[in-house]
Amino acid sequence: MINLYPTQLDSLSIHRVGNKSKNEGVFLSEEPYKLNDEITAILKEYFFKPFREKEENYYRFHNEVDVEFNELYKIVSEAFSNPSSIHEHSKSIASHLFDQSSHPHIKSGELYVAYLSNVMLDNEKVDAIGVFKSELKHDFLQFEEKGSNLDILIKQGININKLDKGCLIFNVKKEEGYKVLSVDSNKYDTKYWLENFLGVDVLADENFFTKKYLKFCQDFAKDVVLPAEDKKEEVMFMNRSMNYFAKNDDFEETNFLNEVIDNPDLIPEFKHYKVEKGPKYSIEDVANFPIANKAVSDARKKVKNLIQLDTNIQIKMDFINPESAEKFVEKGWDEEKQMYYYLVYFNKEQKS
């Protein structure tokens, strides 16, 4: 989990990188940009906002032979070992990006390379290198007085509310290829940014396994629990699953199954489903891992605890304690109406 609010922007280098196939060239600034308090505050919001709004999907640098052959990994490793050299290394980063910018769809733009300190990652202060790119230009209006009238000037600039591309490279797990976060607002050239420039693949850590296992559980609930039981049991299975992940620091599959699955007949079904579908989620050989709280919180927001009825009525099963549903919600069959029904118990109606 990251906290970027206390982060210090220690150094900033700005270069312009064009499209190589269009002979646009690359412009490398001779000196780092001289920051002041006003521009620092604006740039921190511009650079960091997308990472606060996005799920934390971590990557790591990789290479088919060895991570040492990953060009960006080599550059940032040298920069982390000597932070005062970051500007010279930023030129190497810009040149590396230029070398990857040969597809006709790739847009030219400004490249910002920042050295960051006091980044809170998993409750520890770490250094990081931020690499950001602005591409899309937008029209904006300026006004100036001409005699007794105001004149309109049409100019172009970047939208500081929307970063086009960016990554944060944290100075941790160097041997594994560092921890890397990436954002990309323009989906038409994702391969160029992630694969060609960064050269990263997914970091299989506790965040990755927590997220993947919960998504696997969600699909198991939909594909197996719902047909075998009913919508209520599907919802309650996911409630119990979420609560298991929320209250435990470590995941242990046997314990999870015994605690979460009410119907013993579904346990072999779960194991069979994992053999069949596990590779899709990269969890086929995973039965134990530390639980990432942030990933649980993110997943909980996506789980719909709704029973949607064909009579245009919804029942929201929002229980902190899943066993409450067994006490307060009953399902039955009405012979006279030839319809199912839910019986819901309560003491008083809550004011909205």
pLDDT at 213 over 70: yes
Dist. CA 89–CA 157, nearest whole Å: 27
At 234, is the secondary structure helix, strand, or coil? helix
| The predicted structure's pLDDT at residue 123 | 87
**Structure-model confidence comparison of residues 136 and 256, the more confident one:** 256
Query: Residue 55: which pLDDT band, with cuts at 50, 70 and 90?
Result: confident
| The predicted structure's pLDDT at residue 323 | 62
CA 146 vs CA 48, 115, 142, 156, 315: distances in Å: 39, 43, 13, 21, 64
Tell me the domain boundaries of the chain: 2-135+164-203, 207-344
Handedness of CA 179, 27, 134, 43 (dihedral sign): positive
Over residues 67-119, the pLDDT tens digits come to: 999 999 999 999 999 999 999 999 999 999 999 998 888 889 999 999 999 99
pTM above 0.95, yes or no: no
Find the mean pLDDT for residues 233-262: 90
Query: Residue 232: which pLDDT band, with cuts at 50, 70 and 90?
Result: confident
- Among 50, 105, 103, 100, which residue's Cα sits nearest to residue 72? 100
| The predicted structure's pLDDT at residue 165 | 94
**Tokens 């954002």 -> residue:** 183
Write down the mean pLDDT value for the chain.
89
Query: Residue 7: which pLDDT band, with cuts at 50, 70 and 90?
Result: very high
Over residues 268-318, the pLDDT tens digits come to: 999 999 999 999 999 999 999 999 988 888 888 777 777 778 888 887 776
Over residues 314-338, the pLDDT tens digits come to: 877 765 565 666 677 777 888 888 8
Find the mean pLDDT for residues 184-190: 76
Find the mean pLDDT for residues 123-138: 94
